[in-house]
Structure formats: structure tokens, C-alpha cells
Amino acid sequence: MLIGDILVAQGLVTPIDVSAALERQRTEGGKLGDNLVTMGKLSPADLAAVLDSTPIPPNSLEATGLALSDLLNLVTKTMYATGVETPSMIANLMKLPPLAIQQLLDQAKERKLVDVLGSAGVRAVSELRYTLTEKGKQWAQDALALSQYIGPAPVTLEAYRERVGRQSIANERVDRAAIDGAFANLVISEDFIQEIGPAINSGRSILLYGPPGNGKTSVAEKVGQMFRDVVYIPYCFEVEGQVIKVFDPGTHKPVRSGNTDRAATLRREDFDQRWVPCYRPFIVTGGELTLEMLDLRFNAPANFYEAPLHIKALGGIFVIDDFGRQIVTPEALLNRWIVPLESRVDYLKLHTGKSFQLPFDELLIFSTNLAPNDLMDPAFLRRIPYKIEVGAPTREEYRRIFDAVSKADCLEDIDEIFQFVFAELRERNNFPLASYQPRFILEQVRAACKFQNIAMQFRPELISRALKNLYTKDTPGHGVRAKAAEPSDYARAA
């Protein structure tokens, strides 16, 4: 990890600032952060805050918080399965500082689990090579029988709890500028901004409801783009000797540099490598969600666990999309969330029967196009402090959406086209407006033009055919099924 990547991710400096500080560091020396401060690109207070939030590496085996037997199991499994021999290679896999790894190898040598083969490398950069003894190989095989987990050393449950509390999503302020920036390409009313702003900053649960096609999912996705703080996700944590994996490269987005030419001396600063610096998690689940997905997933053959989705989302945003359309009933799903929403903690159970507690610190967003009163009783509605309707656009808002979509394709006569579309939808068919419709109509017309091998154009008959695909014959809410428009209709609508 580079400290510059963290500073850029949080918007404290720019990549150009970091590049300039690197150039200065090559000639003047010193640390990157100090050079940025000297150049006036970063305040000492901001640098101190970032460094203070960084997990401190354990300077000894005791500081890891893990039992020596568990560490010996992990190091022998690592050497047995991967064939690594040097302390630096082992440190890279187990994500522990070289000093702690050396202490661990000394303990293994004292127990006759490893032997020294000789030195690797040349001169000043050489280090000893280690190999497992027959006793060490047997130890590794026994350890693999207990758990096949090989990888970064776990953090303790206590360290994980403390870290979740320190990087609480409620600690970050999302200001008006961040909200306006995230919603820049959406048509959003001022009333909606005034509702969603406090909800986002609360760090509590939100219910987004309203008819389909008006951007509830888009709103939830934009919320995920508003946060700038970097959070630290553990590769895994340990409970009662059991390993629970958390970091998921398919879910979490690490903060990484795009510049591979930076000085190697900037890496491995005072930072516990067992934690991955990431942007706040943003996880969406929909109709596939089941109750089992909210529990620890035990890998029986390998004897370790995978954290559930909402635990991977700690410190971030967890969206339950299409709420009410899951395989599990809404009542069962809501009952699962009562304790986390009320007390802000969640309880998970190991297959051994041992239960443990974790903070429930995330922005939980329910999104549904079903009537909330049909999905949940008043007692549960009370536990969701923010209930925000994402309704159909007004005529003016619909026009703004239509203009934006049309101008993106450099279409002309937008006013006449809009008048025609609006008349077809509302006056002829009594069909409700929805935010998705302008793009839907444009894509339908584009496909028709492609079929007819003509340039993109909004002819009345093409628009009418597109509108017919908004609904089926028995769709409630519209009157007479749209007829194919005559060319004269275009002028009348205008």
C-alpha cells in the first residue's frame, strides 16, 4: 500500500500532487506525507488523521493477539503447501511483519519443526532459508486436517470490532456538493435531495419505495458513490480458533495505485498488512437473497468460514433490491433484521454452537415497488427511520429526462417529439409516466431504424410502436391500446 493512494482516494491530494512529492522525495529524501506537507499540498492535521486511522502492524507474536499454536499451524501449512523458504516470502503470504515472522520461525526451530538450509540472495540482501523437518511436515499435515485455510494471518475478533467502530459510516459527512455531484446525471427534485441527504448522513436504514422504473436502484447506486473515506477490511478474523474470511475481491474495491513505477521504498509503511484498504463496500442483493445467505457459510471439507454478505458490507452500504420478491417471505426476512436495526449489533453462530457479536454498522437500504404496508407491519416500519418515496416524474421532470436522452444522440425537433410522446402516453392511453421511458423509447426507435436500414429518426409510426411495448394489452392503468399513428398526428400533437 502507498500512503499516497489513501490520500488521493480520500480527496486530500491529487495524483499530480503525489507525483510532484515523489520527485521531491527522490532529491530531498524524507517520507511522502511529510513532503506533501512541506509543499503545502496537505495539512499536517489531515496527514495525522490518515496515519492515525491506519492499522498498526504487530511488532511481536504477542501483539498479533493469536495463540502461538495457531500461528505455528499456519506457518507450517504455508511452507508445506507453497514451498516457500525465506522469511520475506512467508511474510508476504501471511501478511505479518518480517520481525514477527522471524520470531515465529525461531519458535518453530526450537520445536524442531524447521531446519536452516543456508542463505538466499547475495551480500547485504541475503536471508536464511528454512525447510520443514519430518516432524514439521507431520505438524503441517495435522494442521491441514484441522483447517485447510492458508493465507494471511487472521485478526482477532476484538480488533475487528474496534476497527468497525472506528470507521463507522456515520462518522463520515456527506455534504450537499457530494450529493449534487453523484446525482448530476439524474433528474432529482429539491424535495428529494432534502429527504435523502439527512438519511445518508444518519448511517441508519432507508426504505426507498414507489412505482417501478423511476430510479430507486439508480438512487441506491449513486449513494454508494458519495462516500470518500477509506476503510480497512480484514482478510479474515478468528473466533475460538475458527477462521472466518471477510475480504472478497469480487465484492470489495481495494485502494490501489495505477502507477507501478513508484519507488519501492514507499511500500510497507507502518501498516498492518492483514487489513486491505478499500473504498466503503457497496453490496446489492435482490430476489436471490435467502435467510441462509445472512448466516456464516461453513466450508465443511476445508474447515473454515465465509462471512455473510451483510458482514462483508460493514462500514458501507447494503442494498436489498426488489424487496418483497425474494424466495424467503418478507416476514421471515424482516424478523432476521429486527435485532440489528434495533440494537445495532448482530449475532452469528459457529457450527460448534458458539455465538459471537459484531457491530451492525452499515447503511441498509430496502428498495421496493410494492406497497410498504403490504410488506411490513407498523412495528417494523418504525425501525426504519427514513422512508422516502421515489415517485413518478412530473411533466417538467419528464421533459428534462427526455431532453437529456435525446440530446445525447444529437436529435432535433425535440419539442415536437416530446409533445407527441406525452400526448400518446397520457391523453390517448392514460399510461403513467416513469423515468425509464424516454431511454426505452429511444432504444426502441433506434432498433426499428436499424431494422429498416434508415438513419436514426423519430417518425410518428416508430414512436407509436415503441410506446406499445411499454405495456401489454391487459396492463392496468391505460385506456385504449395505442393505434399506429398517422403522419398528421405528429403535427396535431405538436
What is the tens place of the pLDDT at every residue in 383-394?
A: 899 999 999 999
**What pLDDT is attached to residue 29?**
85
Q: Closest by alpha carbon to 492, among 437, 393, 422? A: 422
In 344-386, which residue ranges form alpha helices assigned H by DSSP? 372-375, 378-383
Query: In the predicted model, what is the mean pLDDT of residues 75-95?
Result: 95
Q: How far apart are the first and last CA of the chain?
A: 60
Phi, psi of 365, rounded to the nearest 5 degrees: -120, 120
**What pLDDT is attached to residue 457?**
82
Q: Which residues pair with 278 in a beta bridge?
A: 231, 254
Q: Closest by alpha carbon to 71, among 160, 152, 141? A: 152
Q: How far apart are CA 463 and CA 470, in angstroms?
A: 11
**What pLDDT is attached to residue 195?**
95
Confidence of residue 482 (pLDDT cuts 50, 70, 90): very low
- Report domain 160-389's class: alpha beta
Confidence of residue 53 (pLDDT cuts 50, 70, 90): confident
Q: Closest by alpha carbon to 284, among 208, 231, 379, 182? A: 208
Q: How far apart are CA 190 and CA 200, in angstroms?
A: 15
Tens digits of residue pLDDT in 447-473: 999 999 998 888 888 888 888 888 776
Would you list the domain boundaries of the chain?
Answer: 3-53, 62-153, 160-389, 395-493
Q: Which residue is listed with cell 512529492?
A: 21
Query: In the predicted model, what is the mean pLDDT of residues 118-125?
Result: 63
Tell me the average pLDDT of the chain: 87
Does residue 428 surpass a pLDDT of 70? Answer: no
What lies within 8 Å, CB to CB, of 15 at 6+ separation is 8, 259
pTM of the model: 0.85
Does residue 55 surpass a pLDDT of 50? Answer: yes
Q: How far apart are CA 443 and CA 463, in angstroms?
A: 10
Q: Tell me, what DSSP letter sits at residue 31? A: -
**What pLDDT is attached to residue 121?**
59
Does residue 168 surpass a pLDDT of 60? Answer: yes
Query: In the predicted model, what is the mean pLDDT of residues 9-24?
Result: 88
Q: Decide if 292 contacts 258 (C-beta within 8 A).
A: no
Confidence of residue 432 (pLDDT cuts 50, 70, 90): confident
- Looking at mean pLDDT, say which of 52-56, 87-91, 457-461 comes out highest: 87-91
More confident position, 408 or 72: 72
Query: In the predicted model, what is the mean pLDDT of residues 65-94?
Result: 95
Does residue 131 surpass a pLDDT of 70? Answer: yes
Query: In the predicted model, what is the mean pLDDT of residues 413-434?
Result: 80
Handedness of CA 409, 413, 414, 418 (dihedral sign): negative
- Residue % of the chain over a pLDDT of 90: 55
Confidence of residue 1 (pLDDT cuts 50, 70, 90): low
Tens digits of residue pLDDT in 483-494: 444 433 333 333
**What pLDDT is attached to residue 366?**
94
Confidence of residue 417 (pLDDT cuts 50, 70, 90): confident
Tens digits of residue pLDDT in 29-47: 888 888 899 999 889 888 8
Confidence of residue 263 (pLDDT cuts 50, 70, 90): very low
Tens digits of residue pLDDT in 313-339: 999 999 999 999 888 888 888 888 888
Rounded (10°) CA dihedral 152, 235, 278, 215: 150
**What pLDDT is attached to residue 475?**
61
Type and span of the H or E element at 72: helix 68-82
Query: In the predicted model, what is the mean pLDDT of residues 354-380?
Result: 92
Q: Cell numbers for 343, please give them.
A: 440494537
Q: Cell numbers for 148, please give them.
A: 485447510
Domain spanning 62-153 has what CATH number?
A: 1.10.10.10
Q: Which residues of 436-473 are buried (b: 16+ CB within 10 A; e: fewer)?
A: ebbebbbebbeebbeeeeeeeebbbebbbbbbbebbee
Q: Decide if 99 contacts 105 (C-beta within 8 A).
A: no
